[in-house]
Amino acid sequence: MGQSLSIRQLEAWYGTNQTLKGINMEIAANQVTAIIGPSGCGKSTFVRCINRMHETLPGSKVKGEIILNGESIYGQDPVSLRKTVGMVFQKPNPFPSMTIFENVVAGVKLNGMRNRQNLQTIAEKSLRMAALWDEVKDRLNYSGMSLSGGQQQRLCIARALAVEPSVLLMDEPASALDPIATMRIEELVGQLKSEYTIVIVTHNMQQAARIADTTAFFLNGELVEHGPTSEIFTNPRDKRTEDYITGRFG
């Protein structure tokens, strides 16, 4: 099941550049939350803070609090946290040295599970959830790189699901894909929300409108507005949100 997140006074820096300025936000469990905003507004940094990936960059700094299911993530070991909070990246990044099967189970296997039977069960389950099983079940031993871009991205989703996270972060997961592959990812997001809390960064407002339950608009490192998607797109409260969604800037 998905878990809820609450973000309090989150600030982040990259070098001397402050990329997030005091974000307060509640993210409900088992919903799709879209993060929109122009390039450089901090939306990527925001999701990378949720699984503490931002800290891995040299020169980065974070302040504030993120509560996951009642517990602060900054009190936890970051490596363990990332098993609870999965992530899918902008460009598909399967491990080049591994087969499709090995890619899917990489997370569980490298975290210590060795039982072949279990791994096979997990692989099939994850690939089915990522709607990839039927396409690859006969070639699980091929390299992950042999798949098309859209398939690779679903493979990466399956790989993230295999470690059984409760939150799934997606950083513009379809921006490197063609329209048909994009559609399949969007369908998949709709199916996955019954099991996971999904936070998806997108620069594509139609995409947010299609798939998200709530939408948050970021600008210059600040959260301008967060509310039900239909409200954000039809009746924004803030002038800046309106300017952005009507295409006046960004």
Contact residues toward another protein (CB under 8 A) are 51, 53, 56, 58, 77, 79-84, 86-87, 89, 91, 93-98, 106-107, 110-112, 142-143, 145-146, 156, 159-160, 163
- In the bound state with another protein, the residue whose beta carbon lies nearer, of 6 and 93, is 93
Q: Where are the alpha helices (DSSP H) in the chain?
A: 43-50, 78-84, 100-110, 116-129, 133-136, 149-162, 179-192, 205-211, 229-234, 239-245
Q: Which residue has the tokens 């098993």?
A: 83
- In the bound state with another protein, the residue whose beta carbon lies nearer, of 171 and 225, is 171
CB of 85 to another protein, least distance (A): 8
Q: Which residues contact 28 (CB under 8 A, 6 or more apart)?
A: 4, 197, 213, 214
CB of 163 to another protein, least distance (A): 6
- In the bound state with another protein, the residue whose beta carbon lies nearer, of 83 and 125, is 83
- Which letter does DSSP use for residue 250 in this model? -
CB of 239 to another protein, least distance (A): 36
- In the bound state with another protein, the residue whose beta carbon lies nearer, of 80 and 117, is 80
CB of 14 to another protein, least distance (A): 12
CB of 166 to another protein, least distance (A): 13
Q: Which residue has the tokens 């990466």?
A: 156
CB of 222 to another protein, least distance (A): 26
Q: How far apart are CA 226 and CA 98, in angstroms?
A: 40
Helix, coil or strand: residue 79:
helix
- In the bound state with another protein, the residue whose beta carbon lies nearer, of 2 and 92, is 92
- In the bound state with another protein, the residue whose beta carbon lies nearer, of 107 and 236, is 107
What is the Cα 214 distance to its own chain's centre?
15
Q: Which residues contact 122 (CB under 8 A, 6 or more apart)?
A: 104, 105, 108, 113, 162
